[in-house]
Amino acid sequence: MNEWKLVPVEPTEDMIVYGFESVPHLGFSDPDLWDHYSELTGCQQAAMRAKLCWAAMLAAAPQPPVGREPELFGYVVAGSLFFDVEVIDRAAYTTLAAERDALQSELTKVRELLGLAREYGGLTPPWREAVSYLLAHQSAPAPQVNKP
């Protein structure tokens, strides 16, 4: 299968209506389609209905908003029959990543300054102990600072 289409997570009303209306019916379907359908077994008919419904729903799916198309990030398998697709807004992700990097840079600078102040005696004993504790128990270790 080489064709993919981005569709809403929740089907629109049009998608649902077109899906239901795709089921072969003696009075409304093309006679050749109805003849073929009526010759199938029950399971084959169910499979054909599912395929017709899916095709009709895909055809009725709206286009993604222009300029803000989400990017496929990945998918998670939930059980054996259903897939949840996660989408990501690349512009928002890029902005958040840049903010994260800037905050990480500032945090690294603060850690360096606190480490230097502790090492060179620029802190009173209670503060020195508090800074030593914080630097020893941080979520990510502070980079090693070379003494001048």
CA distance 143 to 101: 15
Residue-wise pLDDT tens digits, 62-104: 887 776 655 555 554 444 444 555 556 677 778 888 898 888 8
37 and 74 housed in the same domain: yes
What is the percent of the chain where pLDDT is above 70? Answer: 76
Per the domain annotation, does 23 fall within a domain?
yes
Residue 147 pLDDT > 70? no
Helix (H) or strand (E) holding 76: strand 71-78
**Looking at residue 73, what is its pLDDT?**
56
Helix (H) or strand (E) holding 125: helix 125-136
Comparing 2 with 95, the larger pLDDT belongs to 95
Per the domain annotation, does 83 fall within a domain?
yes
Flag whether the pTM goes above 0.75.
no
99 and 126 housed in the same domain: yes
Mean pLDDT, residues 22-44 taken together: 86
Per the domain annotation, does 6 fall within a domain?
no
105 and 51 housed in the same domain: no
98 and 71 housed in the same domain: no
CA distance 15 to 5: 14
74 and 118 housed in the same domain: no
Per the domain annotation, does 29 fall within a domain?
yes
Residue 8 pLDDT > 70? yes
Structural domain of residue 100, as residue ranges?
A: 91-136
Residue-wise pLDDT tens digits, 35-55: 888 899 999 999 988 999 998
76 and 127 housed in the same domain: no
68 and 122 housed in the same domain: no
